[in-house]
Amino acid sequence: MVSGSVLEGILKKWAQYKTECLTQLELQRTLVTGVYCNGTFDQFACWPFSHPGNISVPCPWYLPMNQEGITGYTHRYCTEQGVWQTKDNSTDIWRDNTECSTSDYFKQNNKEHALLLLLQVCYTVGYSISLGTLVLALCILLMFRKLHCTRNYIHMNLFGSFIMRAVAVLIKDLVQSTNHAPKVANNENDWLSALTPQIPTSCRIVHISQHFFVGANYFWLLVEGIYLHTTIVSVVLSERRMLLRYMAIGWLCPLLFITPWVIARTYLENEGCWGINHSTAIWYIIKGPMLLCLFINFIVHIKILNLLHLKLKAQQLKFTDYKYRFAKATLILIPLLGTHEVLFTFVSDEHIKGLTKHVLRFIQLTMSSFQGFVVAYLYCFTNGEVKAELRKQWSLFLLQYFPCKSCFLGNKVKYKTQGSKKTKDKLFLNKANYQNGKKNSNVQLLQATVNVTSDLGPKDNAPLQYFARGSVSESSDGGLTLGETIEETVEESEI
C-alpha cells in the first residue's frame, strides 16, 4: 500500500510538472532569437529554448528526494549549430543527471521498505496461526452439544469474527500486492495509463469487507465485556433472551458506521482503492465506534479487577497466592476484552517518527494478529469444561471401537462433567441420611458449584460446599451466574 501510494503521488506531480513545462515553452517560443536549441520536455526535465553552451536546469521538483530538501541540477550541452549534443555513436541526447539521483535517499527508502516488509511477514504469520487455531476451536465448540450454552455461543461468535478478520486482512494484502505490482512503462502513454489506473470494484469491496469484519470483531469483544459484567452484577440471568440482542450488537452494529463511511467515500473522497484515508473526519466515522468499544471494555476490565481484588484480599487465608491469582486474571482478561489496544489509541504516525514509529507499529500489529490465537488457546484449548468433554468423548470412542480398554485407559476413566458431579453428590447425601437412621424427604438441593476434579473412585472425602439460592452457578437455561463466573471465569480461566 505504501509503495503504491508513493508511485501514484509521483505520477500526479510528474503530470503537473509536464503541463507547466509545456505552457512555459509556448511563451518562450516567440521571444527567442538567433541560434538556439529547441526547448523540450524529455519526460524527465524541462529544457528551455537555449543559446549554445552548457545548459543547467534544477532537478525536477516532482522527484521524492527533492521533497526532502535535496537540491541539484541536471545538465545538457547546446552545440554551435543549435542542436543538443548526443551521446557517442548514438542518436540519444546526452544528459547528466548525477546530482538528481542521491544514493543516500534510496538507501534510506530501501531500509524503510525492508522494515515494512518484515512487519507484513510477521503479522501475516500471526493471522495465519490465529486462523488455524480459531477454526479448530470453533469446530470443537460446535461439535459437542454439552458445550452449547449462552457463554460458549458468545465465544463461538467471537471466534467467528476473529476468523473473518484474519481472512479479510490476508485477502486485502493479496489484492493490494496484485494491484500495485510493478508495471512496465516504455513510453509516455504507458505512464499516463498508470497515472489513471482502472480501479476494480473488487478492490474496494475487499476494503469495505475488511472494515466491516474488524468492526464486528471489536463489537464482539464489547459483547464479551457486557456479558461478563452482567454476569457479575446480576444474580440470575435470562441469557436465552439476551443472546439475540448480543447477536444484533455483534453483527448489525458495524453496519451503522460502515454504511455512512461508504457513502462519504463515494461522494467526498472517491480516490484509489479506498485503502488510504486522507480525511480525518471521514476516517473517524469508522474509528470512532471502535474507540468507544475499547473504552467501554477498559472500564469493564477495571471494574472486574476491582471486584476480584476485593474478593481475593478478603480471602487471603484461603488463597495465600492471591497476588499471583490477581495478576493471572488481569492477563487473562486482556485478550478477551481487547484492552491492550487502548495503549495505542492516541499514538499515530503524526505523533512519532523514525524507529520508534516502526517499533510501536510492530508491537501493535503483532499483538493484534496473535490475539485470535491467544483467545482460542485460553477460552477453548485450556478450558476445563472443553478438556473434560474431549476426554470423555475419547474414552467413549476407545470403549466402543477397542475391546481392550484397559490397554488405553487403565482401571479408571477420568473426566469431569456436570452429570458425574450430580451423581456423586446424590450418592454422598443419601449415604449420610441413611447413616443417621432416617430419610429426610424435605431437603431440596440447589444447583451448586463444586470445584472438585477427581476420579470416579471412593477415595475422595473432601467436604462439599453448597451455595444458597441467589448465587447458584448454573441458571435454568444453561448459563452461568456469579458463583462460577468469579471462581472459574477469572481465577481458574475456565470461561
pLDDT score for 180: 57
pLDDT digit string, tens, across residues 382-404 = 888 898 898 888 888 888 877 66
Report the run of H or E that residue 60 belongs to, with start and end.
none
**Same domain for 19 and 93?**
yes
Question: Can you tell me the mean pLDDT for 99-124?
Answer: 73
Is residue 214 pLDDT above 90, yes or no? Answer: yes
Percent residues over pLDDT 70 in the chain: 66
- Provide the phi-psi class of 98: left if phi over 0, else alpha when psi is between -120 and 50, else beta: alpha
**Same domain for 95 and 135?**
no
Report the run of H or E that residue 441 belongs to, with start and end.
none
Three-state DSSP at 255 gives helix
pLDDT score for 77: 92
The answer to whether the beta carbons of residues 250 and 324 sit under 8 Å apart is no
**DSSP structure string for 166-206:** HHHHHHHHHHHHHHTS-----SHHHHHHHHS----HHHHHH
Percent residues over pLDDT 90 in the chain: 22
Instruction: Return the CATH number at 48.
Output: 4.10.1240.10
Which of 77, 101, 125 is the last residue before a domain boundary? 101
Which segment of 100-109, 274-283, 361-370 scores lowest on mean pLDDT? 100-109
Nearest to 393, CA basis, from 134, 140, 136, 132: 140
pLDDT digit string, tens, across residues 224-246 = 988 888 877 765 556 667 888 89
Pseudo-torsion of CA 159, 164, 167, 171, nearest 10°? -170
The answer to whether the beta carbons of residues 89 and 96 sit under 8 Å apart is no
Which of 101, 129, 160 is the last residue before a domain boundary? 101
In the chain, how many H helices and how many E strands? 14, 4
Strand partners, 92: none
pLDDT score for 475: 33
Residue 398 lies in a domain: no
Q: Are strands 40-41 and 73-78 parallel, antiparallel or unpaired?
A: unpaired
Is residue 163 pLDDT above 70, yes or no? Answer: yes
pLDDT score for 70: 58
Of residues 277 and 407, more confidence is placed in 277
- Output the CA torsion sign for 119, 123, 124, 126: positive
pLDDT score for 208: 93
**Same domain for 182 and 199?**
yes
Question: Can you tell me the mean pLDDT for 355-360?
Answer: 79
Confidence of residue 253 (pLDDT cuts 50, 70, 90): very high
Instruction: Return the CATH number at 318.
Output: 1.20.1070.10
pLDDT score for 118: 87
Residue with cell 508495471: 183
**Same domain for 124 and 248?**
yes
Which segment of 43-57, 105-119, 318-332, 398-412 scores lowest on mean pLDDT? 398-412
Class of residue 318 by CB neighbours under 10 A (exposed 0-12, middle 13-18, buried 19+): exposed
Q: Which of 187-196, 264-273, 456-465 has the highest mean pLDDT?
A: 264-273
Q: Which of 130-144, 312-326, 347-361, 434-448 has the highest mean pLDDT?
A: 130-144
**Same domain for 358 and 485?**
no
Is residue 55 pLDDT above 70, yes or no? Answer: yes
Is residue 420 pLDDT above 50, yes or no? Answer: no
Helical ranges in 320-461 per DSSP H: 322-337, 354-376, 384-401, 406-409, 418-435
The answer to whether the beta carbons of residues 447 and 421 sit under 8 Å apart is no
Is residue 454 pLDDT above 70, yes or no? Answer: no
**DSSP structure string for 224-282:** HHHHHHHHHH-SS--HHHHHHHHHHHHHTHHHHHHHHHHHHHHHH---TTS-S---HHH
**Same domain for 83 and 182?**
no
pLDDT score for 470: 33
Of residues 10 and 229, more confidence is placed in 229
For residue 275, the one-letter residue type is G
Confidence of residue 12 (pLDDT cuts 50, 70, 90): confident
Of residues 470 and 178, more confidence is placed in 178
**Same domain for 316 and 419?**
no
pLDDT score for 375: 92
**Same domain for 456 and 369?**
no
Rounded Cα gap, residues 102 and 365, in angstroms: 33
- Overall size of the chain counted in residues: 495
Mean pLDDT, the chain, as a whole number?
A: 74
Residue 245 lies in a domain: yes
What residues contact residue 492 under an 8 Å CB cut-off, 6+ apart? Answer: 384, 451
Is residue 324 pLDDT above 90, yes or no? Answer: no
Which of 101, 125, 153 is the last residue before a domain boundary? 101
Residue 484 lies in a domain: yes
pLDDT score for 356: 77
Which DSSP category does 477 fall into? T
Whether pTM exceeds 0.75: no
pLDDT score for 138: 95
**Same domain for 122 and 43?**
no
pLDDT score for 92: 86
Chain centroid offset of residue 93 CA: 53
Residue 207 lies in a domain: yes
Residue 405 lies in a domain: no
Structural domain count, the chain: 3
- Output the CA torsion sign for 223, 225, 227, 230: negative
Tally of CA atoms within 13 A in the half-sphere of 398 that contains its CB: 13
Three-state DSSP at 157 gives helix
Is residue 26 pLDDT above 70, yes or no? Answer: yes
Is residue 495 pLDDT above 70, yes or no? Answer: no
Which segment of 122-131, 262-271, 406-415 scores lowest on mean pLDDT? 406-415
pLDDT score for 176: 77
**Same domain for 94 and 121?**
no
Question: Can you tell me the mean pLDDT for 412-438?
Answer: 44
Confidence of residue 167 (pLDDT cuts 50, 70, 90): very high
Residue 401 lies in a domain: no
- Residue 140 belongs to domain spanning: 106-381
pLDDT score for 170: 92
Residue 400 lies in a domain: no
Rounded Cα gap, residues 357 and 310, in angstroms: 39
**Same domain for 260 and 170?**
yes
Which DSSP category does 355 fall into? H
pLDDT digit string, tens, across residues 255-285 = 999 999 999 999 988 877 887 777 888 999 9
pLDDT score for 289: 92
Cell of 376: 482460542
pLDDT score for 159: 95
